[in-house]
Amino acid sequence: MHCMSNCFLINIASSIRPGRKLLLNCSAQSLRCFTISAAAKTKTTGMQQTPSFASNRRFALLVIGDEILKGQVADTNTYYLCRQLTSLGHRVCEVSVIADSKQVIADRVRYLSANYDYVITTGGIGPTHDDVTFEAIAGAFNETTHHHPELVSIVRQYFDKTADPNEPIESYIHKPYMRLCRVPLSAVLNYGFDASTSKRSEYPVVSVSNVFVFPGVPSLCKKAYRLMESQFKGRNQQQQSSNSVNSTDKASSRSNDSPSPVPIDTADNIYINRDEINLTPIIDNLVAKFPSVTIGSYPEWHNRYYKTRIYLEAGTVDELTACRKFLTDQFDAKELVRYDPDPVKRANIKVEQFIVDTQSDNLNQFQLAFDVAKRAISNYRLDAIAVGFNGGKDCTALLHLVYAAAAATTTIGSSKGQQQQKLRLLYLRSRQQFPEAELFIDETVERYSPNVQLLAYEGDMKTCLHEMKRDWPSIRAVFMGTRSTDPRSGHLNYEQMTDVEAGWPEFLRISPLLQWSYSDVWRFLRTLCLPYCPLYDRGYTSLGDMSNTHPNPKLQYKDSRGLLKYMPAYCLESGSDERKGRNQQPQQTESSSGPDAKNGGARPAL
């Protein structure tokens, strides 16, 4: 069962260290006072004690939960774990989804444990009646369960912080949370490395033999994997990671949520801008010429950058190289897509390379924008900055630019005291916001998570900024996606203060994109493979809200059947036509020195 009550499993508030005495005052039939030490019989492992996995291990995943089988909850853990394990060079050979039945779980665990190198279970470890995973695993190995002394102490401290440590266990053994301490006799407590604290994790992942028991709640499943990842890596991978990480990489890391699309040096993905049906003869020839290479073809109906992904997995680097060359030689350069499935990872390095690739004899507007953003972030702490973000193309480019600048100049996402430093996004919600834009904003926050925080307000810009000033007094500067070609914005500077005399709260307004053109925005977004609001693929070129925005007539065309269609926004030939899809705006009445002068101090145009 994916019970939310097990949320403490990874987020536990305290842990027991080796050498610490636990005075549980238990009865003779249960637990007694003991000391956790290297010589203790209780099995407790840390990163240093547990041997590293070799690469190329065979894994099986066991998903436990009636709610999965009934379609009440979507299983996202399998997708996540398969990607992560594959990225480490392991092979996930089987995934089973079963009900909350002790006998069914025990039988399946016994089979998987005997037939694969390692097994990961998810779900069924909460405090309720149908959380039976630990009991079932004990049955699979012909063991009984017991209240593990170390888990008893940790769990009790979490649920009852005022508890008397000398209270006999009989007085609280009946409480529901004590089910979380009942594990098989041979259970091992695996303490991993918590990247957010740079210390040993506070709560362990439990394993029995070659079976690792993860929570079913997706966020906690990810945390459990991250704690175990260093142990799942082979020694060669650990050495490569140690040699390759520098301060810049750390700043842009995303805690390995999204591994590289090339998981090992003998596998690769080729992205092609051609429908899969038209690739069939080429793929057939490829399979015939390279019979020992695993080849997969995957059509993509909604990706805005490519239409088909072809996956190649060979036994050797040379074989992969030959197969890749044979395939890519079948296409011209326009059909082969340099696609990045995770543009947020190492964002600063990718943006810097983009700037190098776009250098010309003229002053580079991208370099200027990046320098403006880095200078502002160097002058202010992250908690003194907000980024205007309403889901439009300019704001999307701005967010990524500022995020990359923060990764280049700070340790975004690192701990600051007890609070994590995050980039704050200011969202002014409209009652007539496009649902597609609202969904894209949510997806963007998740994409940059955990390094961003959304501050949402509803109302006109001046009122919302006053409210933000009240709620977040540390914020002193606001990044805006304004460009000089926007209405009433030709006089703006990269940095200027708001007009306090006109009633605006005092902020430094920063506009890194000021000298960018319409085509510059799309060049930045599409070269870096950044996701953007899907409305732009339907002919919208400048987003306001549903009351004043429609597809740009300049992108209109008729298809072969005579149906009216719209080309994507990046196909617009002249940036001067960008706002042809916007209704006529009323005459400006407020001061243009406000935070968003291009919209007269009202809600920003996107």
Question: Would 376 be classed as within a structural domain?
Answer: yes
Q: Which of 33-37, 39-43, 90-94, 409-413 has the highest mean pLDDT?
A: 90-94
Rg of the chain on CA atoms, in Å: 28
Average pLDDT (211-232) is: 90
- Rounded to the nearest 10 degrees, the angle between the axes of helix 518-527 and helix 393-409 is 60
Question: Would 16 be classed as within a structural domain?
Answer: no
Average pLDDT (328-347) is: 94
The last residue of one of the domains, among 232, 255, 280, is 232
One domain for residues 199 and 153: yes
Contact 387, 402 (CB under 8 A): yes
Which pLDDT band, with edges at 50, 70 and 90, does 162 fall under? confident
**For residue 45, what pLDDT is reported?**
47
Residue 207 pairs with which residues in a beta bridge?
188, 212
Question: Would 255 be classed as within a structural domain?
Answer: no
Average pLDDT (125-135) is: 81
Evaluate if residue 516 carries a pLDDT over 70. yes
Average pLDDT (553-559) is: 93
Average pLDDT (64-83) is: 92
The DSSP code for 9 is G
**Spatial separation of the C-alpha atoms in residues 46 and 67, rounded to whole Å:** 33
Per mean pLDDT, which range of 194-198, 208-212, 482-486, 596-600 is the poorest? 596-600
Stronger pLDDT, 392 or 247, i.e. the higher one: 392
Average pLDDT (104-132) is: 90
One domain for residues 331 and 455: no
Average pLDDT (486-514) is: 91
Question: Would 605 be classed as within a structural domain?
Answer: no
CATH number of the domain that residue 300 is part of: 3.30.70.2860
Evaluate if residue 160 carries a pLDDT over 70. yes
Evaluate if residue 102 carries a pLDDT over 50. yes
One domain for residues 330 and 467: no
By percentage, how much of the chain surpasses pLDDT 90? 54
Which pLDDT band, with edges at 50, 70 and 90, does 153 fall under? confident
Amino acid at 569: A
**For residue 193, what pLDDT is reported?**
75
- 3-state SS, residue 296: strand
**For residue 55, what pLDDT is reported?**
62
**For residue 242, what pLDDT is reported?**
42
In the chain, how many domains are there?
Answer: 4
Who's near 112: CB < 8 A, 6+ residues apart?
60, 62, 94, 96, 119, 211
**For residue 584, what pLDDT is reported?**
55
Q: Which of 122-131, 302-311, 585-594 has the highest mean pLDDT?
A: 302-311
One domain for residues 134 and 84: yes
Question: Would 46 be classed as within a structural domain?
Answer: no
One domain for residues 218 and 298: no
Which pLDDT band, with edges at 50, 70 and 90, does 534 fall under? very high
Per residue in 243-288, pLDDT (tens digit) is 433 333 433 333 344 444 344 578 899 999 999 888 989 999 999 9
One domain for residues 442 and 566: no
Strand ranges (DSSP E) for 260-358? 267-272, 294-299, 308-313, 336-337
Owning domain of residue 276: 267-337
Round to the nearest angstrom and report the end-to-end CA distance of the chain.
Answer: 44
One domain for residues 444 and 540: no
> Which CA distances in Å does 245 have to 126, 251, 386, 394?
37, 10, 29, 32
Evaluate if residue 238 carries a pLDDT over 90. no
**Spatial separation of the C-alpha atoms in residues 455 and 388, rounded to whole Å:** 10
**For residue 156, what pLDDT is reported?**
81
Question: Would 588 be classed as within a structural domain?
Answer: no
**For residue 432, what pLDDT is reported?**
86
Count the neighbouring beta carbons within 10 Å of the beta carbon of residue 337: 19
**Average pLDDT along the chain:** 81
One domain for residues 165 and 225: yes
Which pLDDT band, with edges at 50, 70 and 90, does 420 fall under? low
Encode 99-130 in three state secondary structure.
CCCHHHHHHHHHHHHHHCCEEEEECCCCCCCC
One domain for residues 436 and 552: no
Per residue in 283-306, pLDDT (tens digit) is 999 999 999 998 988 888 888 999
One domain for residues 448 and 390: yes
Per mean pLDDT, which range of 75-84, 417-426, 589-598 is the poorest? 589-598
Question: Would 147 be classed as within a structural domain?
Answer: yes
Evaluate if residue 307 carries a pLDDT over 80. yes
**For residue 250, what pLDDT is reported?**
35
Evaluate if residue 73 carries a pLDDT over 60. yes
**For residue 402, what pLDDT is reported?**
96
**Spatial separation of the C-alpha atoms in residues 445 and 454, rounded to whole Å:** 7
Evaluate if residue 415 carries a pLDDT over 50. no
